[in-house]
Amino acid sequence: MTKPILHKIFMFNPPDNDKEVNALFHNRESELKHGIDYLCESISSQNIMVIHGESRTGKSHFLRKLIIELKKENRPFLFHYVNANSQQTARNVLIDIFRLLKKQIFSFNPNFDHHALAMQQLSIVKDLLIDISPLVSGEREQMICTLTKERITSQESHFSFLPNFVQAIFQSRQELKMGEEKQWVIPMVSDENLIELIKYQVKLLLEIISPEKKQSILLSVDDIDLLCDNPQGDVQVKLLLDLLNQLASDSFFNIVVTLRTESFHDRSKNMWPLQGINIFDNSEMIHIYQKHLNLYNQGNAIYTNYAIEYLIENSDGRIGDFLKNCNVFLNDNYSIYLEKSIIDLPDIKNQVTKIINVFKINKETKKHMYSLIDTIQKEKKLEFESTDILPRVFYDRMIQQDTTNKNQYYINKLFSDVIQEMENNGN
């Protein structure tokens, strides 16, 4: 029997391991078949395809499972996955895509003759990607290239093979005389040129490296609207979608992204709703909880039935929120779990009470904690608006910020329940 792996048991982000993705996938088989059928019917879509749903409902897990199943179908795709969550700008996401494609190009072991035209072109491309990488990442603002007429002439047949913006840099090459050399300044690669470079990489992979095997690339970009969590986030999301649309319009690309439903409806132009992801009902959440126990803890329970029902009721069908709460309260009550081999509902509520009491006396959180208590006990609300900069520790588990209105906040029901009970007990 597999040894318990408690540090992974309630991960609220999907696992990277295909076996674990398959084991934890639950009750979205019809949605999965629809996605597979759609992507297997056409080689390329002219629009960005969107997997959309409310936050923390399992969009990322669905995307990973979809990719696994498409690979089984021998779909003629090259697959690349990028997560926008940890990025700060649309440019960072494009750089990640560029690096992924570059890595695949450099990992290719050619089986054609060393002197073949394709081999010579591949060698030139690799040199180009090495030289231009600092201009893509922003490590350098420009690069100076010195070429002689003889070197240019020897490689003349390959210039037409290079990206248009690179050809344009050397357009004055015909003016050189034999024996002369000239310096060209190659500037930092713009977003538009980076899109052209990514298209160029994909064309190379499909036409030279994988001829007759792969017909297009499936590029998946996960959690795009989490860029909204950064300054100028809305602008960056719009910019990224505009740039990805330029890729999607090319016959070599299939672009699949995940977006929250509200973000999708706000930006639905030039996007195709590949699949909507709904919330789970309580019985499905219990099944998913049991799958996590079976995979990571030999089937042994972490919480009592009362505790797990309480955590489910306070998750609103959002599997990500449920797993996050399970993870947080396991960590908080780990000593209790080691002692009793189970965590009960009073243990959870006692931990929440401790956190609230700490925030009530801490100098940096006291004012805002009492404001939250008033919102719940006096105004009977679970949401509020504030233009203040709230303590970062609140975001960890107590409140959630609206993705479209940065002044709107929602209070975690686990905390609101305890605060309401405190009032009922005269506190």
Q: Which residues pair with 145 in a beta bridge?
A: 184
Average predicted confidence (pLDDT) for the chain: 86
Compute the distance between CA of residue 367 and CA of residue 362 in angstroms, rounded to an integer. 9
pTM: 0.88
- 3-state secondary structure at position 221: strand
Which range among 81-95, 118-132, 161-175, 256-270 shows the weakest confidence by mean pLDDT? 161-175
Compute the distance between CA of residue 225 and CA of residue 403 in angstroms, rounded to an integer. 8
Greater pLDDT, 59 or 174:
59
Q: Give the dihedral sign, CA 10/11/12/17.
A: negative
Neighbours of 114 (CB within 10 A): 8
Which range among 12-21, 139-148, 387-396 shows the weakest confidence by mean pLDDT? 139-148
pLDDT digits (tens, 9 = 90+) for 332-345: 999 999 999 999 99
As given in the structure block, the two tokens for residue 381 are: 């609300």
Element holding 384 (H helix, E strand): strand 383-385
One-letter amino acid for residue 306 of the chain: Y
- 3-state secondary structure at position 276: strand
As given in the structure block, the two tokens for residue 88 are: 């700060």
Q: Which residues pair with 88 in a beta bridge?
A: none
Percent of the chain with pLDDT over 70: 85
Q: Give the residue ranges of DSSP H helices in 73-116.
A: 90-107
Q: What is the pLDDT of residue 275?
A: 94
Q: Residue 227 has what DSSP assignment?
A: G
Residue 108: which of 202, 201, 209, 213 has the closest Cα? Answer: 209
Compute the distance between CA of residue 427 and CA of residue 425 in angstroms, rounded to an integer. 6
As given in the structure block, the two tokens for residue 128 are: 């180009």
pLDDT digits (tens, 9 = 90+) for 150-180: 455 555 555 566 788 777 766 655 565 666 6
Which single residue is written with the structure tokens 């030139």?
124
As given in the structure block, the two tokens for residue 219 are: 């590029």
Domains of the chain: 28-109+193-277 (3.40.50.300), 117-192 (no CATH), 344-427 (no CATH)
Compute the distance between CA of residue 51 and CA of residue 55 in angstroms, rounded to an integer. 12
User: Residue 294 pLDDT > 90, yes or no?
Assistant: yes
- Average of pLDDT values for 270-284? 93
Percent of the chain with pLDDT over 90: 53
As given in the structure block, the two tokens for residue 222 are: 């996960």
Neighbours of 363 (CB within 10 A): 6
- 3-state secondary structure at position 285: helix
* Cα-based distances in Å from 132 to 121, 138, 139, 187: 16, 10, 10, 9
As given in the structure block, the two tokens for residue 84 are: 């926008």
Q: What is the pLDDT of residue 185?
A: 73
One-letter amino acid for residue 247 of the chain: L
* Cα-based distances in Å from 95 to 133, 198, 216: 9, 9, 20
Greater pLDDT, 122 or 368:
368
At how many degrees (to 10) do helices 117-137 and 191-204 cross?
150
